[in-house]
Amino acid sequence: MNLEKMKESFNKWKSDYNKKKDASKLRQKKFMSVSSYEPEPLYTPLDLQDFDYFEKLGIPGDYPFTRGVHNTLYRERLWTMRQFAGFGTAKQSNERYKYLLKNGQTGLSVAFHLPTLMGLDSDNPLSRGEIGKDGVAIDTLADMETLFDGIPLDKVSTSMTINAPAAILLAMYIAVAKKHGVAPEKLSGTIQNDILKEYIAQKTFIFPPEPSIKLIVDTIEYCSKHLPAWNTISISGYHIREAGATALQELAFTLIDGRTYVEAAIARGLDVNEFAPRLSFFFNSHNDFFEEVAKFRAARRIWAKLMKEKFGASSQRAQLMRFHTQTAGCSLTANQIENNIVRVTIQALAAVMGGTQSLHTNSMDEALALPTEKAVRIALRTQQIIANESGAANVIDPLGGSYYVEKLTDEMERGVMDYFDRIDRMGGVLSAIDKGFFQSEISDAAFRHQREIEKNERIVVGVNSYCDGNGEKGGGDILKIDEKVEREQVAALTALKKKRDNDKVKSSLERLKNDARSGANVMYALIDCVEAYASLGEMCDVFREVYGVYEEPPMF
């Protein structure tokens, strides 16, 4: 490469470009990414002059894993196609899971209804109107038995989106498996178990941050002894992005949350080389293709460096970041809903180009309601088309070496480090949550994004442009949850609470309280409780009593 020649031709190009720009010949005044980042119009070798291949990229499967976590990537095994699903009663969701598995899905992903996420039973007055609405209603082990009826838990991996009460749902899963005759060490799957992003963005918190982190470390410790193939946490940027964060904020806040969990586990005395291989991540994939690919690549590099340099992780498994991706729910429009199929395709392709380990593609109708079966099938087929027809899965990290993508990957890394410094100066993640730092960064970005759309600085097809009066409004079939679900769920719970051995329930809850008070690992007591058919709400009440509850100061 003759750099002098490159500089000369670049400068000539730049002056021609600027002439057109100054003469207002460009289509827009500003060209920006979904995250309001303004890229240069052209990237060249001049942007990568000091680029050290082995320092920045390495070979796929080798430190710093920028190019991917496997040396064969999708040539050996495709990503896991994992559609998040759950609604109504356990029986209805069980049928949806069987349908998805029959259609070629390779892993389950359970959505719980809001009362379960908030540690409330279906018969709690606060649960009224919410039963089975945006997830499946789980009150006791009996519901979990129905949910996984006829599903081979030794073969299928299950991801459960559960946070504040994650330890309880894990205990239930272990108990169901036991009834199926499947030993804990055979179980594979994930609990989301990431409470920090709840305070930051998703807001389904129950207890204060410190005891919540203690519960998480309990699950990490328990699984490292008994469930070696279980992902103990899915450190999530997804919800941070959905709440309005930029790609960079999503990445920075997620990684610093991850760092906080690693510090807590090390403080418990756990060995980083033992527990870190079971940490997993969960990212969003939005419309700006290159920005997303750069984000995924930077994520692996930053995490590997952090694990190796800061925490002294020596095994490769402890350094590499595995992640799940979901396409951006917040990018879906309620207008002209079929357009969402195209958005999801672009986003899913970015996730694959970014080397994801598993993927959920949203259904086109999710801006209106939970998806219909047909919409879910199209979403799954989208992944299958990318996997089998597009050629994207043939080559490892096919965008590696792109001047733009490498430059953007570097800038993501630098931006993350800047956020780390700012958050550390505030006293770390918990203190930044306390000060409302993340929350205000995110709501500023969300507001800016909305204003850009309203001022037509940002085009959203079918929303502020290209509205032709045909099909702007959704229409068509949507999935409705029958109000009967609420009555049935409450009746079943009431009957179960009468039928079970209530002395056993009482004594197991007593043990749970003692263990929670003493600071012992609560997993053992939780398994006792769930096997006695104590309800989720009863167990969470014990924790509420011992740990207290968290309330967020309202701000906007």
Under the rule (CB under 8 A), what is the footprint of another protein? 114-115, 117-118, 120, 126-130, 133-134, 198, 202-204, 242-244, 330, 332-335, 367-370, 443, 446-447, 450, 453-454, 460, 463-464, 473-475, 478, 480-481, 551-556
Residue 467 to residues 192, 461, 463: CA-CA distances in angstroms?
A: 39, 8, 7
User: Is-contact 191 222, C-beta < 8 A?
Assistant: no
Residue 120 or 539: which CB sits closer to another protein? 120
Q: How far is the CB of 88 from another protein (least distance, A)?
A: 11
Which CB atom, from 374 or from 517, has the smaller least distance to another protein? 374
Shortest approach of another protein to residue 447 CB, angstroms? 5
Taking the least distance from each CB to another protein, the nearer of 319 and 362 is 362
**Nearer Cβ to another protein (50/551):** 551
Residues 6+ apart with CB under 8 A from 314: 273, 308
Q: Where are the alpha helices (DSSP H) in 71-163?
A: 90-102, 114-117, 141-147
Select 487 or 506, whichever has its Cβ closest to another protein: 487
Q: List the Cα angle 212/201/556 in 5-degree steps.
A: 120
Q: At what angle do helices 247-267 and 437-454 cross, to 10 degrees?
A: 160
At its nearest, how many Å lie between another protein and the CB of residue 127?
7
- Residue 3 φ/ψ, nearest 5 degrees: -65, -35
Please state the length of the chain: 556
233: amino acid identity, one letter: I
CB 534 to another protein: min, Å: 21
Cβ-based nearer residue to another protein, 116 or 146: 116
Minimum CB separation of residue 522 from another protein in Å reads 24
**Shortest Cβ distance from residue 133 to another protein (Å)?**
3
Strands 107-111 and 84-85: parallel
Which residue, 346 or 463, is less far from another protein as judged by CB?
Answer: 463
What is the end-to-end Cα distance of the chain in Å, rounded? 52
Task: Go through 93-103 and write b for each residue having 16 or more CB atoms within 10 A of its CB, e for each that does not.
Answer: bbebbeebbee
Decide whether 150 or 553 has the Cβ nearer to another protein: 553
Instruction: Tell me the closest approach of the beta carbon of residue 330 to another protein, in angstroms.
Output: 8
- Look up residue 318 and give its two tokens: 């402890």
Q: Do the Cβ atoms of 65 and 319 come closer than 8 Å?
A: yes
Q: Shortest Cβ distance from residue 404 to another protein (Å)? A: 30
Q: Which residues contact 401 (CB under 8 A, 6 or more apart)?
A: none
Closest among 390, 325, 382 to 104, alpha carbons compared: 382
Q: Which string of DSSP letters, residue by residue, matches 28-92? A: -S----TTS----S---GGGGTT--HHHHT-STTSTT-TT-SSSSGGGT-PPEE--EE--BSHHH
Nearer to another protein by Cβ, of 332 and 512: the residue is 332
Considering the complex, what minimum distance in angstroms separates the CB of residue 198 from another protein? 7
